[in-house]
Structure 1
Amino acid sequence: MDLQKEAPNVVTEAGFKMLVESGYSVEVVCKQDAYRKNSVWHGIWLLRAVDDDGVEKELVTARARPDGEFIQLRTFKTVTGLVSFLIDLGFSVVAFPVYEGQRWTYTLADTPDDDSDS
């Protein structure tokens, strides 16, 4: 299945990273209120790559599911997983929404330089 032909509003992890590097913003969407269990924050977050015109591409898994469904949104269920993914994309400062419906947007251009001495 060619995801670009079947579902133009989704992208796998490799494509997502390329979009971000080419100037797309990353939007983190909180789909379920975050809660703390022991020392770990849980919730459900989705990621979208958004261009300057507002065109969105949602991050999906690359693996086929046992029930035959190929396209499934990639969800992050812990803050640790979300932060790890965002850092791997190149973001050095990470914040995240904690209430259902909230969104937070990142762009690589907004990432501060690592060599600032102030």
Structure 2
Amino acid sequence: MAQVIDLEKAVPNVVTETKFRDLAAEGYAIEVVAQSDALKKGPSWHGTWIFRVVSDDGMEKLLVTARTRTSRGDIKIREFKTVTGVISFLVGIGFSHADIPLEEGQRTTLKLLRNDLPTGS
């Protein structure tokens, strides 16, 4: 079953990609959440994944698009539609590996290791 996100509670707990990257580098855990089952189409895997950063004390922030509001004023959570997109995003943050949940409702938690951080961090 897909996780239902209460946007009324989530609105203050959102970040754009720049802040998301900063928090990951600061030691926050990254959570990859499967919003749907992954399906293989040809050589590629498709589904819906979202990301969160989670602090050691359990505070969570959802990744949103740079323009966080739709024309109706709703928050737009950033969704990734392919495994390739998830991997590319993780590599862009600094991860040298990817662990991606493939079934709806599953989640994976990752944390950057010192040797994963980009030079200068």
Which band: TM-score by shorter chain?
0.7 to 0.9
Query: Secondary structure of the equivalent of 1:15?
Result: helix
Identity of matched residues, %: 50
> Which of the residues 68, 80, 95 maps onto 1:91?
95
1:21 alignment partner AA? A
Number of residue pairs aligned between Structure 1 and Structure 2: 108
Given the superposition, is the C-alpha separation of residues 64 and 10 from structure 1 closer, same or farther in structure 2, using an over 3 Å criterion?
Answer: closer
Could you say which residue in structure 2 is the equivalent of 1:82?
A: 86
Runs of 4+ more than 6 Å apart: none
Gaps of 5+ in 1: 1-5, 113-118
Q: Which has the larger radius of gyration?
A: 1
TM-score w.r.t. structure 1 length? 0.83
Shift of 1:17: 0.4
Gaps of 5+ in 2: 1-9, 117-121
Could you say which residue in structure 2 is the equivalent of 1:16?
A: 20
What is the root-mean-square deviation of aligned Cα atoms in Å?
A: 2.1
8 Å CA contact 1:91–1:111 kept in 2: the answer is no
Could you say which residue in structure 2 is the equivalent of 1:30?
A: 34
| Pair 1:72-2:72 in alignment | no
Could you say which residue in structure 2 is the equivalent of 1:3?
A: none
